A and B are shown apart, each in its own frame.
Chain A
Amino acid sequence: MAYSDKVVDHYNNPRNIGSLPKEDPDVGTGMVGAPECGDVMKLQIKVKDETIVDAKFKTFGCGSAIASSSLATEWLKGKTLQEAQKIKNTDIVQELNLPPVKIHCSVLAEDAIKAALADYRKKAGKGE
């Protein structure tokens, strides 16, 4: 199974690897997947005025999983929370040319985005 050039690119030059401080009130953290499944994604967003100003990820998983989460952080930066909620796994599949057997990687990335958004909202809700 040969990888698409885009997947290879994200793998060799991942965008936004790293971590944001979890305890910050303007940071939302999504952690999805499980080691037994071979896929774990941690995706974090930093939000200011309802807009995502920074995003970081770390992934335990195959090349397609790494690429999906890397792409997700790329897309999230600059989007409003509402826009981010609309990102679909199918967009990721199309952008990366993921074969059928790797579609679940994009689904996990979408889950990670939604989990990060939900975590931020929960924190923000608890605030004022």
Chain B
Amino acid sequence: MKLPIYLDNHATTPMDPRVLEAMLPYFTEKFGNAASRNHAFGWEAEEAVEQARKQIARLIHADPKEIVFTSGATEADNLAIKGVMEMYREKGDHLITSVTEHRAVLDTAKALEAKKLLRVTYLPVDKHGMVNPEDVRKAITDKTILISIMFANNEIGTINPVKEIGKIAKEKGVLFHCDATQGVGKVPVNVQEMGIDLMSFTAHKIYGPKGVGALYVRKKAPRVRLVAQMDGGGHERGMRSGTLPVPLIVGFGKACELCEQEMAPEAARLAALRDRLQEGIMKGLDEVYLNGHPTQRLPHNLNVSFAYVEGESLLMGVKEIALSSGSACTSATLEPSYVLRALGVGSDLAHSSIRFGLGRFNTPEEVEFTIKRIIDTVTRLREMSPLYEMAKEGVDLKTVQWTVH
């Protein structure tokens, strides 16, 4: 077992060696520009791109022509929201989304709101982080042109009732965009069955390279149109200009193909590891609270709060393991996780949260090591914690008058 251990697979994933191998020829041998129509270098690059398009489309049950390559999921989210809003602005200016979306969606919505181009409804979530489809239905007006709800949350792993939302969107004639960055390749995602019209996802969460992602744009029933946000040459059917990063796209395609082949057994394996991690931690410690839905959650995600212990100090204590926390101390803005706050988790528990993201290359040995290190570190930090001391004395922390600086 090698240290450090990587358990932060929601942030990014290591590339699968098979993906790297598929990419290599396209750097120095088959290096043509896929848009060079007049020579073999261009043709072979184009062929590789089209092959990748097929592999990617297959994974999500789309047509290859419906895949638009971008630099990642953030750009795909921007393209979906801005592109659709601009195209359909005669029809309306209302966007429905949720409070737990990724910043790529929330910041885009806020930017358009600030420019007075959009009115946005931010739907709340329940205590497990799930959006209620009926809330979506109730929020739709005759000016609504887009619903944007994520497939699964990157912090707490909760999977939204996407199929139900897709049905409502179809009923009401509103386009449905789904940021599926954390779901694609991990659990079955089917744009046909789920009634999804636009979908963002990226390669680097599924053992592919960083720097490439895609926006799925439905071509039939209905045909979705959008205004390009990147101009200059009309690549990707006029939806996203710019020379295609052929080696990255080849890697993306290979990553999707591997996911399609290995998804079922991998999800089962990771769910078992995750369940063992959860069981081990909760058996060895008291006052550990699960964040997110207990069953409707990504198989490889675990997010828990350790009462009386702050997240960053916990991460420091297990520095041989790569994890992340919802604590304010770990964020650039010194704000605790807005996702946890949206669940109604108190700020103190938000500061005490740790997110575990298992992946293809994690082993049972690593999980056992992690369980032990977490239990040891939490125990040590609780001995150092004035809050734990007060709780053990029977003080109700909610009644204390704190002197805030």
Inter-chain contact B402/A62, CB cutoff 8 Å: no
A58 in contact (CB, < 8 A)? yes
Are B336's CB and A38's CB within 8 A? yes
Name which residue of chain A comes closest to B402, CB basis: A34
| CB of A36 within 8 Å of the partner chain | yes
Within 8 A of A (CB), among B297-336: 308-313, 316-317, 327-330, 334, 336
A61 CB, min distance to chain B CBs, angstroms? 5
Q: Judge whether A61 and B313 touch: CB under 8 Å.
A: yes
Partner of B402, one of A3, A11, A40: A40
A38 touches B329 (CB 8 A): yes
Interface of A is mostly: mixed
Contact of A33 among B336, B383, B405 (CB under 8 A): B405
The B contact surface, by secondary structure, is helix
Name which residue of chain A comes closest to B334, CB basis.
A101
Taking CB atoms, residues of chain B closer than 8 Å to A42 are 386, 389
**Residue B111 interfacial (CB < 8 Å):** no
Residues of B near A8 (CB, < 8 A) are 316
How distant is the Cα of A39 from the Cα of B347 in the complex, in angstroms? 11
- Contact status B316-A40, CB under 8 Å: no
Asked if B403 is an interface residue, CB under 8 A from chain A, the answer is yes
Tell me the bound Cα distance from A108 to B402 in angstroms: 13
Q: Give Cα A40 to B310, complex, Å.
A: 10
A31 lies within 8 A of B403 (CB): yes
Q: Mark B373-398, 1 if CB is under 8 A from A, else 0.
A: 00000000001111111000000010
Among A3, A62, A107, A115, the residue within 8 A (CB) of B310 is A62
Minimum CB–CB distance for B320 against chain A, Å: 13
Within 8 Å by CB of B348, from A14, A36, A101, lies: A36
Q: Kindly state whether residue A17 has any CB partner on chain B within 8 Å.
A: yes
**How far apart sit A104 and B404, CA to CA, in the bound complex (Å)?**
12
Q: Could you tell me which residues of chain A, from 38 to 59, have a CB within 8 Å of some CB in chain B? A: 38-42, 58-59
Sorting the interface of chain A by its residue count into under 10, 10 to 19, 20 to 34 or 35 or more gives 20 to 34
**Which B residues touch A115, using CB under 8 A?**
403
Q: State the Cβ distance, A25 to closest chain B Cβ, in Å.
A: 21
Can you list, as one digit per residue, whether each of A90-104 has a CB less than 8 Å from chain B (1) or not (0)?
000000000001001
Give chain A residues whose Cβ lies under 8 Å from the Cβ of B386: 31, 40-42, 58-60
Please tell me if the beta carbons of A37 and B308 are within 8 angstroms of each other in the complex.
Answer: no
Contacts of A36 in B (CB 8 A): 346-348, 351, 402
A104 surroundings in chain B (CB, below 8 A): 405
Contacts of B402 in A (CB 8 A): 31, 33-36, 40
Query: Considering the complex, which residues of chain B in the window 255-310 have a beta carbon less than 8 Å from any beta carbon of chain A?
Result: 308-310
List 7 additional contacts besides A61-B310, A62-B312; criterion CB under 8 Å.
Answer: A37-B405, A38-B347, A42-B386, A60-B310, A61-B313, A61-B329, A62-B329
Closest 5 A-B residue pairs measured CB to CB?
Answer: A35-B348, A34-B402, A38-B351, A36-B347, A42-B386
Instruction: List 17 contacting pairs A-B, 8 Å CB cutoff, sorted by A.
Output: A8-B316, A32-B405, A33-B404, A34-B404, A35-B397, A36-B402, A37-B328, A37-B347, A40-B386, A59-B384, A61-B313, A62-B316, A63-B313, A65-B329, A66-B384, A104-B405, A107-B405
